[in-house]
Structure 1
Amino acid sequence: MSDIEILPIDPLDTDLVEAWIAMQNVVIEHDRPGDAPYSPAHQRLRLLLHPSAVNVERYAARVDGVIVGAFELVLFLKDNQHLASFELEVHPDHRRRGVGSRMLESLEQRVAELGRDTLLSGVAETVEDAPEMDHAGREFAKARGYAAVDNEIHRRNDLFAVNDDDLAKLYADAWAKAAGYELVQWVNHAPEDIVEGIAAMRARMYTDPPMGEELDIRPAVFDVERVRDEERVRADRGELQLAAAVRHVESGEVAGMTDILVYPGSELHAGQNDTIVDPAHRGKRLGTILKIANQRLLREYRPRLRYVHTWNAEVNSHMIAINEAVGYRRFCRDIDVQKKLA
Structure 2
Amino acid sequence: MSDIDILPIDPLDADLVGAWITMQNAVIAHDRPGDAPYSPAHQRLRLLLYPASVDVERYVARVEGKVVGGFELVLFLKDNQHLASFELEVHPDHRRRGIGTRLLEFLEQRVAELGRDTLLSGVAETVDDAPAMDHAGREFAKARGYASVDNEIHRRNDLFAVEDDDLARLYVDAWDKAAGYELIQWVNHAPDDIVEGIAAMRARMYTDPPMGEELDIRPAVFDVERVRDEERVRADRGELQLAAAVRHVESGEVAGLTDILVFPGSEDHAGQNDTIVDPAHRGKRLGTILKIANQRLLREYRPKLRYVHTWNAEVNTHMIAINEAVGYRRLCRDIDVQKKLS
Q: Where does residue 154 of structure 1 map in the other structure?
A: 154
Q: Which runs of 4+ in 1 moved over 2 A?
A: none
Q: Displacement of 1:288 after TM fit?
A: 0.2
Say if 2:233 is the partner of 1:233: yes
Q: Secondary structure at the match of 1:310?
A: strand
CA distance in 1, matches of 2:41, 2:131: 27
Letter of the structure 1 residue corresponding to residue 109 of structure 2: Q
CA distance in 2, matches of 1:18, 1:298: 29
Q: Secondary structure at the match of 2:322?
A: helix
Count of aligned positions: 342
Say if 2:90 is the partner of 1:90: yes
Say if 2:257 is the partner of 1:257: yes
Q: Where does residue 118 of structure 2 map in the other structure?
A: 118
Q: Where does residue 210 of structure 1 map in the other structure?
A: 210
Q: Displacement of 1:329 after TM fit?
A: 0.1
Q: Where does residue 173 of structure 1 map in the other structure?
A: 173
CA distance in 2, matches of 1:93, 1:166: 45
CA distance in 2, matches of 1:35, 1:282: 31
RMSD across aligned positions (CA): 0.3
Could you give the per-residue CA deviations for residues 185-224 of structure 1, whole angstroms, max 9, x where no partner exists?
Answer: 0000000000000000000000000000000000000000
Q: Where does residue 32 of structure 2 map in the other structure?
A: 32
Normalising by the residue count of structure 1, what TM-score does the alignment of the two structures yield?
A: 1.00
Q: Where does residue 60 of structure 1 map in the other structure?
A: 60
Q: Secondary structure at the match of 2:140?
A: helix
Could you give the per-residue CA deviations for residues 250-284 of structure 1, whole angstroms, max 9, x where no partner exists?
Answer: 00000000000000000000000000000000000
Letter of the structure 1 residue corresponding to residue 194 of structure 2: I
Letter of the structure 2 residue corresponding to residue 12 of structure 1: L
Matches within 5 A, 1:162-311: 162-311=162-311
Q: Displacement of 1:34 after TM fit?
A: 1.1
Q: Secondary structure at the match of 1:26?
A: helix
Q: Where does residue 327 of structure 2 map in the other structure?
A: 327
CA distance in 1, matches of 2:86, 2:32: 18
Letter of the structure 2 residue corresponding to residue 210 of structure 1: P
Letter of the structure 2 residue corresponding to residue 95 of structure 1: R
Normalising by the residue count of structure 2, what TM-score does the alignment of the two structures yield?
A: 1.00
Say if 2:14 is the partner of 1:8: no
Identity %: 90
Q: Structure 2: state its 5+ residue gaps.
A: none
